[in-house]
């Protein structure tokens, strides 16, 4: 971890067993060796260590400790610091020493160890371990180690077998080693569980000391180490550590003071001059920035939201703590400020609620100058989750009879071609009198030759001439000029273009007229000999092949045309390397003069591919045949062809001539014919031709190139049909970035602006491999990303399902991508008023998941409910109570069973992801397993959700109020009944009401029901690792029961696992890793609903004194102590008592129960505990003597130091003393008040014993009550 962060140590000090770790770090042994030795050391201790020994910590210097040891067979086992010495010896002797220390006012404590380590009692183990070490081999030390065996720096050639043997019996000289190492370093970092060593290190040295606590469940200790190392100049800080966090720039200083924060001491923060933006500044929605300082903009917005005068909102005001804005409101204000200042919302920190106005403003000002033009302007195309590159099959799909448009005035029609075919004139006349306006008709013969293409070029030029009408009609069959017609449509969008593929056997005039009448932009249709009408549709192929078969293998020869550069070279190398085939590359370049070509051939060789380059022009059939003969002589028969040759010299239709057309056709069509004629076609196993999406769609300035590629695809298809044993594929590529003609012609950026996504070389090669190895790949495949501007392409678009969140698609590529907008209002989305928090209508996370699931199912066309993974709710989605908000749901298919989805909003210019998730379509039932239901051996928790939770603890309105009863409501576990309400009206009557995930009310209850675990705050969802939805099972009205267990906690974030079961116990929904964040915290002063107090007390005790104690508060259970204890344990308990009145252990746990104020308080822990509950008692009239005797001073201290009224303070002190009297503590032991502070809480100390008391109010009458818990330790 430290090395990954760039922090390298100069010296190591290992405490006891840590000496092995230090030696491993220094290079004396590898990882497997150190683990082996540590295991052997432990076994040796267990087998040879003398039993009956122990160790203890004495908080005193070594000299004082020696005096306490006088006359006892006890030795000093560790010199930890001048304030702590460890002693080791027989148990009884160590106990006597501890008693002496107690009398002397030194509270020593036994350590939890199995033997008296570092003493003569483990001498036999040392000898045995020494024998083991004699067989080990050590390397000389490569780094500096200060040994805690010798207290000195170890020489490189030290005898480690002797050192590690002696270490078992010798004392740990940690204080001496630290003092020695401190001379060489300026920072100590403790690595290991806890932070004991760093605390010790601070005692005896002035060198700063921090701990990398490996038991820390958060990143806090890691970040602390990074910060400390940065301050002392030992490491840089990686920018990713600040991802999503508020960053405050500070000016450089010559010298840092350790742990003195520059953010606090240097109030005059001067930002460097911002670099000029690359484009004119503009806000996310297109409005110009205000020009006002960020701090003023932010203060004005905050003042308006908080309804405060502007002068009451200072730059140092904290948004959450000082101004009492909710985290939701803070997010809204920051988003609004970002829009006014021209800051891209996607770059904003997501957690600024605890920051000051100044801190947020400084972060925004820094972002203003660093925003990119594309971040600050509204993009022309609607952004999705991410870009994509996919393979599409070209299908001919049967289509119904077209619907004609409105009749138009008849006008003239020019005919080009078809002068020997009477049907052409019939068609012209039908058009002239058919009420479709005027234009140009081009008639081409079936399978026209390149020379017969000239009428199409002449007709296109005529259509571009003023006065020729606004229609262009091309009638053809087989090889023709479709690519030219598509290009015409794109070069002049005013020309309505119709392409009709029509066999000679069919009647023409009526069919052509009907197709033209139905054309308003671009229209293309195919008729077969039966008269069936079909349209060309691009259908997304699966991302992964259903089966994989390599067409080539070792010994095969792949002939490559197009030279050894660019796209063709990358793809040829991939195919040959995968198959182990040999390569023969044909090109026009002179190898001796082409450095790029020579470098690529060297790269082929380095990849283990045998390749030969032969110079030949594919447009010269004689040269091609000679080259093929040479290839077969050198490498063997050609069994595969990759035809990548092509020529692209853009020219608009107005300047295009037939020479240019022939020039484009020659390498593509003529070149392929020459190659296939030169090889033995019957031997071919693979034919791959490189076409272009331009042939399928057309492109401005590319009519001739489009025609060549269109004809190449048909040529490839026909060869495959004639040679079924040869896998024949024409790959129609979109533009590539970095390589290829698009890069050479400098059109990649312009095409990207037109909404056409370029293909990277890595993406292209990956798609090639997938298609070539799939025996089911169709003969013609289009490989493309988005092609928004190409309306000549038609993608598959099944009818949209009637679902609320997919009603206004902005982008749709079925099977690939869907982007849809939804306007949310309180009138259309009736659940919003039931999700009102701090005056804001919040779009619920459960509805966000529903929206993403609807989008995922729509884009894939699947009907099964997906599993939701890695869901994040980074930013709230807020709807004004009397207004609307537009959300945008984007979904992208990333695997055949996986969709990534995000939700963005107009509030942030659709630039930031508010919600996101991965949705996977997997078969199988919801997994069974924990968390399990509690046994029905206790009555339901006396907690009425409708009365006790909703409205105060829980903000959810009627539609979401689904909690019915609790079987368990503890600090870390929930077991509750929830209700489905099938007839709930979630949406307005005119909107679709289908919910694919099932009842969102129940699902929201699975989140907010966990509020009973943290009853002093509002829990809002942050993330979900995985959710298996119930779907329709959660809407039948059947009774359901959910169980939740806390998996972990990180500060204010709580992580739960949840199982939802039917009445028969079947798990119908499962949540793994639900993260909830606590906001809107209360001070705990009540009035409390009694059953919720147990969770609060249990969690707060853990926070205040680090003790894990199970706590339950049960109302009216004075005659049922077993019930209260059962609540704490989670199951029924059978209480038995010792003769002195203490409860016996239950399930290995110490338990205690107390009754008072019509409440029962029960606690359980692994170490002895006690408890007390009582009402606050009024103080009696002064009788002249203190009521609490010598402890009356504690009452005074509480009253003056904590501001507690005297009655409450006296009750708390009295309860604490009564708890202490339950155990036999020495009379002389003083009771002190610790500095631990929290509203209503006091913590007292008596030796190692801690007593925590909490004063609050309970019940509707707000009865003042004091709860008290005593502990010597915890779980």
Nearest to 920 by CA among 970, 865, 863: 865
Contact 669, 711 (CB under 8 A): yes
Place of tokens 């966000």: 848
DSSP letters spanning 651-715 = B-GGG--HHHHHHHHIIIIIHHHHHHHHS-GGG-SEEEEEEEHHHHH--TTBHHHHHHHHHHHHH
Other Cβ atoms closer than 10 A to 1247: 16
- Is the separation of the CB atoms in 905 and 889 below 8 Å? no
Contact at 8 Å (CB) between 880 and 825?
no
Give the SS3 label for residue 160.
helix
3-state secondary structure of 1268: strand
Compute CA distances 960 → 108, 847, 945, whole Å: 56, 12, 12
Residue 255 has a CB neighbour count (10 Å cut-off) of 5
Q: Which residue has the tokens 């370029």?
A: 758
| Enclosing H/E stretch for 575 | helix 566-579
For 63, counting Cβ atoms within 10 Å of its Cβ (0-12 exposed, 13-18 middle, 19+ buried), the class is exposed
For residue 1113, what are its two tokens?
A: 């508060």
Count of CB atoms situated within 10 Å of the CB of 1105: 20
**Which tokens belong to 1254?**
């909490």
Q: Are 191 and 214 in contact (CB under 8 A)?
A: yes
Q: Between the CA of residue 182 and those of 84, 828, 906, what are the distances in Å?
A: 19, 69, 57
Rg of the chain's alpha carbons, rounded to an integer? 40
Local structure of residue 587 (DSSP, 8 states): E
Please measure the distance between the N-terminal and C-terminal CA atoms of the chain and give it in whole angstroms.
29
Nearest to 1006 by CA among 849, 1131, 826, 1128: 849
Q: Residues with Cβ < 8 Å from 805, sequence gap 6 or more?
A: 820, 822, 850, 851, 854, 855, 889
The answer for residues whose C-beta is within 8 angstroms of residue 1196's C-beta and 6 or more apart is none
CB 313 within 8 A of CB 357: yes
Residue 676's CB is within 10 A of a number of other CB atoms, namely 18
C-alpha span between 229 and 208 (Å, rounded)? 10
β-pair partners for 540 = 392
CA distance 256 to 259: 9
Length of the chain counted residue by residue: 1275
Helix then strand count (H, E) for the chain reads 34, 45
d(C-alpha 579, C-alpha 825), whole Å? 59
Residue tagged active-site, from 15, 501, 835, 914:
835
Tokens of 508: 């023409």
How far apart CA 1207 and CA 346 sit, in angstroms, is 55
Among candidate residues 999, 1004, 1016, 1172, the one labeled active-site is 999
CA 817 – CA 894 distance, rounded (Å): 9
Respond yes or no: is residue 838 known to be catalytic: no
Question: Token digits for 811?
Answer: 């982008």
- Token pair belonging to 343: 């800051």
Q: Which residues contact 657 (CB under 8 A, 6 or more apart)?
A: 457
Q: In this structure, are residues 1128 and 1093 in contact, taking their beta carbons and an 8 Å threshold?
A: no
**Is 835 an active-site residue?**
yes
Catalytic center residues:
835, 999
């Amino acid at each position: 971890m430290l090395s990954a962060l760039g922090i390298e140590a100069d010296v190591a000090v290992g405490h006891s067993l840590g000496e092995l770790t230090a030696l491993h770090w220094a290079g004396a042994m590898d990882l497997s060796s150190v683990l082996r030795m540590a295991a052997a050391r432990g076994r040796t201790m267990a087998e040879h260590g003398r039993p009956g020994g122990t160790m203890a910590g004495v908080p005193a210097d070594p000299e004082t400790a020696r005096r306490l040891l006088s006359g006892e067979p006890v030795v000093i086992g560790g010199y930890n610091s001048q304030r702590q010495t460890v002693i080791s010896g027989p148990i009884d002797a160590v106990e006597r020493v501890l008693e002496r220390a107690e009398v002397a006012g030194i509270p020593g404590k036994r350590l939890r160890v199995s033997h008296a380590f570092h003493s003569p009692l483990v001498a036999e183990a040392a000898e045995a371990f020494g024998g083991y070490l004699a067989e080990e081999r050590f390397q000389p030390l490569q780094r500096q180690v200060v040994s805690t065996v010798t207290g000195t720096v170890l020489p490189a050639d030290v005898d480690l077998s002797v050192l590690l043997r002696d270490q078992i019996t010798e004392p740990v000289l940690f204080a001496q080693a630290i003092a020695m190492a401190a001379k060489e370093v300026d920072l100590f970092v403790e690595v290991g569980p806890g932070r004991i060593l760093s605390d010790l290190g601070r005692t005896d040295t002035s060198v700063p000391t921090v701990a990398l606590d490996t038991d820390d469940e958060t990143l806090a200790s890691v970040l602390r180490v990074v910060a400390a190392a940065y301050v002392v100049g030992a490491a840089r800080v990686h920018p990713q550590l600040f991802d999503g966090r508020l960053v405050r720039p500070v000016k450089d200083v010559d010298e840092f003071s350790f742990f003195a924060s520059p953010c606090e001491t240097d109030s005059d923060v001067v930002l460097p001059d911002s670099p000029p933006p690359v484009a004119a500044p503009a806000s996310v929605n297109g409005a110009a920035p205000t020009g006002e300082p960020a701090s003023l903009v932010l203060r004005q917005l905050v003042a308006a939201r908080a309804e405060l005068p502007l002068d009451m909102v200072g730059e140092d005001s904290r948004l959450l703590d000082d101004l009492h804005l909710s985290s939701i409101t803070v997010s809204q204000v920051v988003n609004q400020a970002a829009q006014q200042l021209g800051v891209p919302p996607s770059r904003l920190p997501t957690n600024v609620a605890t920051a000051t106005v100044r801190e947020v403003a400084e972060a925004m000002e820094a972002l203003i100058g660093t925003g990119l033009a594309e971040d600050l302007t509204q993009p022309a195309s609607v952004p999705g989750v991410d870009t994509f590159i996919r393979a599409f099959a070209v299908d001919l799909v049967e289509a119904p009879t077209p619907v004609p448009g409105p009749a138009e005035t008849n006008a003239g029609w020019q005919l080009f071609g078809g002068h020997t075919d009477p049907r052409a004139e019939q068609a012209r006349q039908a058009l002239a009198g058919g009420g479709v306006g005027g234009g140009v008709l081009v008639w081409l013969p079936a399978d026209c030759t390149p020379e017969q293409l000239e009428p199409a070029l002449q007709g296109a030029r005529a259509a571009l001439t003023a006065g020729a009408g606004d229609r262009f009609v091309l009638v053809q069959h087989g090889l023709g000029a479709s690519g030219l017609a598509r290009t015409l449509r794109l070069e002049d969008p005013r020309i309505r273009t119709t392409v009709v593929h029509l066999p000679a056997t069919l009647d023409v005039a009526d069919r052509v007229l009907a197709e033209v009448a139905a054309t308003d932009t671009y229209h293309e249709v195919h008729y077969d000999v039966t008269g069936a009408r079909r349209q060309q549709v691009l259908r997304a192929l699966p991302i992964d092949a259903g089966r994989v078969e390599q067409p080539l293998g070792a010994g095969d020869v792949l002939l490559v045309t197009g030279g050894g550069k660019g796209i063709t070279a990358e793809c040829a190398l991939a195919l040959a390397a995968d198959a182990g085939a040999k390569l023969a590359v044909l090109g026009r370049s002179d190898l001796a003069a082409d450095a790029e070509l020579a470098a690529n051939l060297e790269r082929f060789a380095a990849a283990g591919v045998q390749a030969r380059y032969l110079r030949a022009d594919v447009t010269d059939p004689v040269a091609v045949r000679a080259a093929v003969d040479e290839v077969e002589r050198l490498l063997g028969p050609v069994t595969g062809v990759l035809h990548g040759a092509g020529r692209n010299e853009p020219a608009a239709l107005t300047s295009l001539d037939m020479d240019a057309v022939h020039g484009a056709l020659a390498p593509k069509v003529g070149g392929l014919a020459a190659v296939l004629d030169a090889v033995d076609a019957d031997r071919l196993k693979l034919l791959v031709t490189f076409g272009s999406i331009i042939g399928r769609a057309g492109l401005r300035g590319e009519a001739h190139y489009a025609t060549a590629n269109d004809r190449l695809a048909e040529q490839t298809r026909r060869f495959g049909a004639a040679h079924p044993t040869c896998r024949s594929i024409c790959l129609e590529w979109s533009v590539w970035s970095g390589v290829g003609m698009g890069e050479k012609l400098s059109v990649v950026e312009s095409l990207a602006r037109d909404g056409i996504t370029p293909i990277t070389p890595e993406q292209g090669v990956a798609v090639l491999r997938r298609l070539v190895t799939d025996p089911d790949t169709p003969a013609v495949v289009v490989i493309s990303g988005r092609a928004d501007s190409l309306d000549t392409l038609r993608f598959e678009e099944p009818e949209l399902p009637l679902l609320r969140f997919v009603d206004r698609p902005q982008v749709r590529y079925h099977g690939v991508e869907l982007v849809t907008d939804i306007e949310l209002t309180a009138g259309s989305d009736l659940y919003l008023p039931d999700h009102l928090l701090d005056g804001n209508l919040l779009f619920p996370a459960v509805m966000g998941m529903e929206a993403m699931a609807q989008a995922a199912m729509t884009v894939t066309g699947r009907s099964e409910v997906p599993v939701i993974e890695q869901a994040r709710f980074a930013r709230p989605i807020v709807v004004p109570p009397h207004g609307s908000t537009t959300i945008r749901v984007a979904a992208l298919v990333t695997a055949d069973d996986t969709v990534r989805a995000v939700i963005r909003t107009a509030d942030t210019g659709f630039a930031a992801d508010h919600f996101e998730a991965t949705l996977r379509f997997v078969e199988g039932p919801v997994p069974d397993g924990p968390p399990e239901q509690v046994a029905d051996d206790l009555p339901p928790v006396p907690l009425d959700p409708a009365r006790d939770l909703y409205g105060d603890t829980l903000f959810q309105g009627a539609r979401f109020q689904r909690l019915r009863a609790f079987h368990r409501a503890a600090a870390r576990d929930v077991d509750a009944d929830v209700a489905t309400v099938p007839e709930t009206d979630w949406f307005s009557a005119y909107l679709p009401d289908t919910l694919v995930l099932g009842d969102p009310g129940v699902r929201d209850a699975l989140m907010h029901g966990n509020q009973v675990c943290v009853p002093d705050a509002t829990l809002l969802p942050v993330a979900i690792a995985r959710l298996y939805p119930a779907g329709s099972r959660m809407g039948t009205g059947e009774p359901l029961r959910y169980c939740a267990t806390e998996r972990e906690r990180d500060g204010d974030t709580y992580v739960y696992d949840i199982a939802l079961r039917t009445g028969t116990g079947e798990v119908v929904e499962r949540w793994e890793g639900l993260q909830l964040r606590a906001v809107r915290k209360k001070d705990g002063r009540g009035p409390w609903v009694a059953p919720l107090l147990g969770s609060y007390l249990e969690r707060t005790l853990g926070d205040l004194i680090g003790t894990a104690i199970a706590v339950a508060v049960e109302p009216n259970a004075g005659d049922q102590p077993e019930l209260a204890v059962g609540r704490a344990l989670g199951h029924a308990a059978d209480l038995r008592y010792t003769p002195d009145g203490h409860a016996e252990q239950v399930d290995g746990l110490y338990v205690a129960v107390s009754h008072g104020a019509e409440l029962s308080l029960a606690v359980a822990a692994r170490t002895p505990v006690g408890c007390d509950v009582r009402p606050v008692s009024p103080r009696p009239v002064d009788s002249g003597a203190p009521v609490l005797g010598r402890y009356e001073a504690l009452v005074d201290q509480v009253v003056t130091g904590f501001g507690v009224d005297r009655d409450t303070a006296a009750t708390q002190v009295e309860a604490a003393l009564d708890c202490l009297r339950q155990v036999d503590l020495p009379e002389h032991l003083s009771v002190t008040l610790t500095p631990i502070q929290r509203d209503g809480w006091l913590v007292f100390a008596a030796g190692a014993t801690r007593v925590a008391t909490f004063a609050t109010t309970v019940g509707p009458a707000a009865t003042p009550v004091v709860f008290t818990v005593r502990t010597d330790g915890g779980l």
